[in-house]
Amino acid sequence: MLFAPWKSAAYRRRLFDLMIAQEPDFVIANGDHVYFDLPAIARLRENPIVNALSGLIRGMSAIFDPSLTVLDSANEIALTTVGDDQIASIYGVRFRSTPIFFITDDHDYFDNDDATLERVTFPPDPFHRSLRDSLQKLYFPEFIVEHDPDPAFPGLSTQQGVRLSSHFGEIRFGDLFSGLLYDCGGYLSLGAQARLFPEVVENWLVDRTRIEDTRHLVHFPSHPLGWTAGKWREWYRDLLLSDGSLVEAVLRDEDGNKYMWQEGWWNQHQRLVQAIASQSNRKTIMVSGDLHALGATRIERSGNLDLTHNPIHSVLSGPVGVGDAGWPSAARGVQSRNPADLVCTDLLGLEESNGFTIFGFDREHDEFQLFRAPTEGSKPERLKVEIATRFNVA
């Protein structure tokens, strides 16, 4: 395709090779590992030309039946068709000597985070949750749980005597570094006590942040702080209207906010921000994905919270396979921006570029390097990367 929403598997494999050439100690893949939203695929198949060609397009031949279980049924063949195409064929065994951790986001549940009069997609229904969990079972590991979790901590299991968590976890390098990884979609809630992740997970994140038993701490949420794309499932109330030829009707509630947007999500944001900024011996860092972009910003105020004493540095780590039609400015007619309720200073203005982020730590320093893949290198064999920005968290 000349104007596709994705890059080829060969392109992504080449980008991974350029990443591995930086010799990372570990890799975090943050969200949206597959794109096969069932409602969108169903709409595509209503087009007779697309339907006729679906058997020729890798992965498009997968057909799911919600009346069946995901595993041990025809759905398992469909799932492995998608997973082999979008995960196995790309990662291969490239990371066999490099630990890699996968954080899931909305598309890993085989749906988009939409809220309309007809349908609200999250929290996921049992079938979509099973799709996500089965994808993990077959293609990427759970997190090892080293802390003593609350029994209500979601997604806990034990395999061969090892305690695991499916959605929330921690990476630790002795007392030098800790990374907290969390899915902001699979267990979101609606209503008076709405959260993007459950209270028990929020308490765990706050407790782990306040202990300060490592020199450096980084939060890795699936959904970013410091930017909005005007989408429904965000921390922020911002409603961005498309311009140009892609103007779309945007549903609002009686207060003028995004339809079904939950103020409890913003309240949780504020509690988390306050805990992160309250650290006395560490700088505040978050790294996330979701927005198909590279970017870095310093959050200096969040609502009524003054963070200038310890501003939060939030990094968009970059996507690895977005094509021409997959950028938000092309697909939705909008550019992501800093939310209206925040005061931010950008360290790298948002760039719609494929790329990745390398961060390095020692006792005294933490350095971030954001690598972009220039668009002229669209052919895999010509692909190269260059540093978009480099900064230390001061």
Is 202 within the bounds of a domain?
Answer: yes
- Domain span holding position 382: 9-392
Per-residue pLDDT, 254: 74
Is 35 within the bounds of a domain?
Answer: yes
362 class by beta-carbon count within 10 Å (0-12 exposed, 13-18 middle, 19+ buried): exposed
b (16+ CB within 10 A) / e for 70-85: beeeebeebbbbbbeb
Is 193 within the bounds of a domain?
Answer: yes
Between 258-262, 294-298, 373-377, 382-386, the lowest mean confidence (pLDDT) is in 373-377
Q: Which residue has the higher pLDDT, 378 or 266?
A: 266
Give the CATH number, domain containing residue 260.
3.60.21.70
Q: Which residue has the higher pLDDT, 3 or 251?
A: 251
Is 3 within the bounds of a domain?
Answer: no
380 class by beta-carbon count within 10 Å (0-12 exposed, 13-18 middle, 19+ buried): middle
Structural domain total, the chain: 1
Is 53 within the bounds of a domain?
Answer: yes
Task: Report the predicted TM-score, pTM, of the whole model to 2 decimal places.
Answer: 0.93
Q: Which residue has the tokens 């096969």?
A: 36
**pLDDT tens sequence across 94-153:** 999 999 999 999 999 999 998 988 889 999 999 999 999 999 999 999 999 888 888 899
Give the mean model confidence (pLDDT) for residues 302-329: 90
First and final C-alpha spacing in the chain: 45
Is 1 within the bounds of a domain?
Answer: no
Is 111 within the bounds of a domain?
Answer: yes
Give the tokens for residue 46.
Answer: 């209503």
Per-residue pLDDT, 250: 59
